Structure 1
C-alpha cells in the first residue's frame, strides 16, 4: 500500500483530532507505504535518489533521542534486516521485507530472492496481480469509493482558505486542483502523501513486490494474496463523507511536512533499519509539546498501529499456515516484520525457527 488516510479506523473514530494525531498518522502511513513502505547512500546516484533528496533525519537527531531509540531497538525482536528464513519441520519460509516504490537498488534484492522463488511452491504477497486487477475493476465500476460523485465537491464543502491550501498542496504534488476537489478526502490525503519527486520516477509503483511477482510468473510459480485489497479500501472509506471532510481540515495543519521524512524512510529501508526510523518518528511525536497528554497520544498511537499493522499481521498467519507447500516465499512490507507483534515473532510463536538470511 502507498499511504493511508490520517484516521484509518473502520469503526469508532477520532473527530477532528489536534495536529499531533494527524502528523503521527502521516508518518506511520509513509512507513507502511514504502517499508509499505518504508542505506547509506551509494556512491553512484540512482533515479530515486536523484529525484527525492533530503537530509537523513537519523543523522541529525539529538544524541539523547538516538540513545532512547537504540535502547528500544535492543529490546525489539527482529529489529534489523530485510531477509529471513523461518523453518518448522519440513517447511521453509523465505520472508523478504519489501518497499512498494521503484528503485534500482532493488536489483540486488531481486537477485538474492530469485533462487528461493524459482524453487518455491508459492509466493505470498499482500496483493497479487489478479486481486489488484479486481480491485481496479471494482474502483472503475464504483467510482464513488474514491471520488465524490454526488453533491458538492471539496471546493464547496471546505472553507475557502482551507481549500486554497489544499489546492496549493495538490498542485505541488502534481495533482490538478479540479481533480483533487472531486476526490474523497481519504483518497486525497493518500495521494498527497506521495511527494512530487517520487511521481517523476519511471514506473514508480514497480516496487520490490512487483519485481518479485514478475520473477515468480516467469518461473511459473503461483502468486497468492495474503488479504483482500477491496476490503481494505472499504475500511478506509467507511467514515461518512462529512466526517472525512472534517478530518481533512485537521490534515491541512500538517501538510507542510518536508521531504526529509520521505528521504529518510527510503534510506532506512535499504539500510535494513526500518524500525530505527519508525521509533525515531514515534518518539519525536510522544515527546513533542502539545495539549494532548502523553498517555492519550500513546493510546492513539497504539490504536493506529493495531489497525494498520498488528491486526493485519495476525490475519496473515492463518493464510500462511493454510497455504500448501513445503517451500514458500513471503514478500510483505518491511514494517510488518519487526517487533513482538510482527510477522516474524508471530511465526516464532507458531513453532518456527527464525534466522536472518544475509544479503
Structure 2
C-alpha cells in the first residue's frame, strides 16, 4: 500500500539508499522450478492480461491490473490506455488518493493504527533468536529495534516487502494506480473507493496479536523483498503475467521460508484469504452495482486472476470478457 512509503519517509527522512538495480530471477530458475511455475500458471484462470473489458448489457467495465510501484515503462502504457479510457463515466480504485491522503495526514499526527499501544511488545512475544533475526532485517530498512518492537506484526510484514532501496525514492509509489488517478483528474471524472481504510485496518487486526506474531515469525523470510524480487515482479507485470507473479512468490517463499509444505500452505492460505479472496468478494458487491455506464476498475493486478479473481467472478455473473491492449 502507498502509505508504507509515506511511513518510511516519515520515520526515516535521513536514511540514504542506492537506487534499485535488481535483476529478473526467472531466467535462473531450475528446470524443475520452471516446470512447477508453468503448471501452476496454466491451471489459473485469467492468469495474463492487465486490461480486460467486461460487458453486460449497457454496462462496460475496463478492469486495469495495477502495480503500486513505479516503473518508467508505465509511461508508454498510459499513452496507450488513455484514449480507451477517456469515455469512462467514473474511475474506481481500491482506495482513492483523496482518502489515502486524509489517512496519511491522520497517521502523521497519530501512529497508533500501526503500533501496539498497550501490553507486551514484540520483544516479549518472540524468542530472542527470532527477534534478533527480524530486527536485523528491519534495521537494513532503517527501522530501529526500539521502534519495530512496538509495531503491529502485519505492518512489519508489509515493511519487509519494501526493499530498502525504495524507501528514499520519492517516485517509488508513482505506479499505475497513481497514474490512472492523474488521468481521472485530467479528464474530470469522478473517483470512488471499493473499500474503506478503516475496514482494511480492521481486517489486518482481526487475528489476535499472538497469532499475528506467529505468522510474522514463520513467514518473515518468505515475505522479505529484495531488489531482485522487485525487478522480477515489475518485469512480469509489464509482460502482463500477473498470475506468474503470485505463483513465483509462492514457490520462492516456500523455498526460502524453511517451513514444511503443510505449515507454509497454512500461512500462505491465510495471507491469500485475507488480502485477496476476502477483499475481492467485498469489492464485487460494489462492482456489480455499477449499472448502465462505462467505468474503470483499477486494482492491484494480483486481484484479477484465479477462481476468486475479479475476472472469473464477473464471468460467472454473466459478463462477457475480452482482453484489451495494455
Normalising to structure 2: TM-score of the pair? Answer: 0.83
1:60 paired with 2:1, answer no
Match of 1:329 in 2: 296
Q: Distance in 1 between matches of 2:70 and 2:128?
A: 37
Displacement after TM superposition at 1:351 (Å): 1.3
CA contact (8 A) 2:53 2:60 kept: yes
Match of 1:339 in 2: 306
Displacement after TM superposition at 1:164 (Å): 4.0
Shifted more, 103-112 versus 343-352: the winner is 103-112
Match of 2:168 in 1: 200
Q: Distance in 2 between matches of 1:106 and 1:212?
A: 11
1:302 paired with 2:302, answer no
Distance 1:345 1:241, change over 3 A: closer
1:126 paired with 2:94, answer yes
Displacement after TM superposition at 1:288 (Å): 8.6
**What are the superposed Cα offsets for residues 234-289 of structure 1, whole Å, 9 maximum, x if unpaired?**
22123444554455444556577644322211211111112123223434556899
Q: Distance in 2 between matches of 1:255 and 1:98?
A: 20
- Root-mean-square deviation (Å): 3.1
Q: Secondary structure at the match of 2:27?
A: coil
Match of 1:117 in 2: 85
Displacement after TM superposition at 1:121 (Å): 0.7
CA contact (8 A) 2:218 2:257 kept: no
1:232 paired with 2:200, answer yes
Normalising to structure 1: TM-score of the pair? Answer: 0.76
Match of 2:244 in 1: 276
**What are the superposed Cα offsets for residues 83-117 of structure 1, whole Å, 9 maximum, x if unpaired?**
11111112211111100012211112222222233
CA contact (8 A) 2:20 2:165 kept: yes
Q: Distance in 1 between matches of 2:92 and 2:134?
A: 38
Match of 1:74 in 2: 42
CA contact (8 A) 1:122 1:327 kept: yes
Displacement after TM superposition at 1:131 (Å): 2.2
Q: Which runs of 5+ in 2 are unaligned?
A: 5-17
Displacement after TM superposition at 1:163 (Å): 4.1
Q: Distance in 1 between matches of 2:262 and 2:213?
A: 27
CA contact (8 A) 1:120 1:329 kept: yes
CA contact (8 A) 1:86 1:355 kept: yes
Q: Distance in 2 between matches of 1:62 and 1:71?
A: 14
Distance 1:63 1:179, change over 3 A: same
Displacement after TM superposition at 1:199 (Å): 1.9
CA contact (8 A) 1:3 1:194 kept: no
Q: How many residue pairs were aligned?
A: 313
Q: Secondary structure at the match of 1:355?
A: strand
